[in-house]
Structure 1
């Protein structure tokens, strides 16, 4: 796997985040409304996986054995908060719930396109943050356990993320409920076992893995192109 500079990733994702939040405030001032302010909090939660993946990656590069053991709980915290980065996709629901505000006598108002642009920016930024965090951890697992294990991790991570999004959107659970409200979590997990929940997880996991594979291909296609140029 190609190693990406962690500092460069942080700067890039920070810049995209600044643009995203700035777009929200510009649209909010233009339309004189703050309805989508909650997206800023959701994006903050979406940053947590990248923070934990960066810690895990940094610890995995250290030579002393204690660092490896510290990387394990950090990686588990990544898994716990990873669904937050893709949960923002479901915030598109709010556009439908506000549809009556967008329809005018002449069709769809410009307010809809402003709000759609803002929500899509938050969705895109959240997905980028989450998938770069997964790429970091896939690199760690690839280094320690091999290529096959790293892809098993990716498939398992996207599957668990889709289930986490289901618990968050449908059952209104938060990531920290796994630490503070385990009895309710287990109860709702039991209730969530259904055909419709399985279908949601399968479709959403397919959505996530397709985007991840697209980004993975773009990263490595560039590396392959540069290698071909050097050999020629």
Structure 2
């Protein structure tokens, strides 16, 4: 796996997040503040990246894997908050009465759609970079195969987490504060429809993450090496 410059990655994600918030501010001033809940959801999408950065930094210092385990568990609990942002597009349907008036699409529809897509893009990118960080940690401590098994498990958890969050309205911290509710929701969600939904979302996450992984590790390597060996041309 390619080693990334994570201080630069952090600055990139922070800049993208600030741009996303600025766009939302402009749109909300022009329309309304209905989508203020996106700010909290976006904050939750950042938490996995903070956990992965901490784990990545500790791993670079060769600390024991037992010290990384709590960070890994916390990351797994909060990772679904990143893909969950996609489901907020649902509110475009809920508010359709104000977007379509007498058969005419109102301009605010496009403002809200673009804002939601930007939040989704920023949140997903932050979540996927956190997944890449943890895959790097596992890769360094084991091998590439085990690191990809972890990715598969994380995407599966992400798909199931989106189901629990959107359909069953479960929060990440409910796992720690309300175990009885968690157990009941798990039992209720064990059906064919929920399984298909979870696997569908997991497959989408895997496809997008694999694309990002390939872009980071597979494109441009040959040309850069040729340039470095052959000198200026």
- Tell me, yes or no, whether TM beats 0.5: yes
Corresponding residue SS for 1:88: helix
CA distance in 1, matches of 2:19, 2:223: 30
Structure 2 length-normalised TM: 0.95
Q: Deviations over 1:200-219 (max 9, x none)?
A: 01111111111101111111
- Choose from 221, 228, 231 the match for 1:230: 228
Are the structure 2 counterparts of residues 64 and 52 from structure 1 closer, same or farther at C-alpha, using a change threshold of 3 Å?
closer
State how 1:1-232 maps to structure 2 within 5 Å. 1-31=1-31, 33-65=32-64, 68-105=65-102, 107-220=104-217, 221-232=219-230
Q: Which runs of no fewer than 5 residues in structure 2 stay unpaired?
A: none
Are the structure 2 counterparts of residues 224 and 81 from structure 1 closer, same or farther at C-alpha, using a change threshold of 3 Å?
farther
1:106 deviation in Å? 5.3
CA distance in 1, matches of 2:79, 2:63: 27
1:70 deviation in Å? 1.4
CA distance in 1, matches of 2:63, 2:119: 39
Corresponding residue SS for 1:118: helix
Q: Deviations over 1:177-217 (max 9, x none)?
A: 11111111011100001111011011111111111011111
1:84 deviation in Å? 0.4
1:88 deviation in Å? 0.3
Q: Which runs of no fewer than 5 residues in structure 1 stay unpaired?
A: none
1:64 deviation in Å? 4.5
1:229 deviation in Å? 3.1
Deviates more, 1:100-109 or 1:187-196: 100-109
Structure 1 length-normalised TM: 0.95
Q: Deviations over 1:12-61 (max 9, x none)?
A: 10000000011001001112x00111101100000000000001111111
CA distance in 2, matches of 1:178, 1:225: 48
CA distance in 2, matches of 1:92, 1:161: 18
Deviates more, 1:69-78 or 1:113-122: 69-78
Q: Deviations over 1:63-96 (max 9, x none)?
A: 344xx32111111111110000110000000001
1:228 deviation in Å? 3.8
CA distance in 2, matches of 1:223, 1:76: 34
Deviates more, 1:211-220 or 1:126-135: 211-220
Provide the alpha-carbon RMSD of the alignment.
1.2
Are the structure 2 counterparts of residues 224 and 89 from structure 1 closer, same or farther at C-alpha, using a change threshold of 3 Å?
farther
1:6 deviation in Å? 1.6
Question: Aligned pairs, how many?
Answer: 229
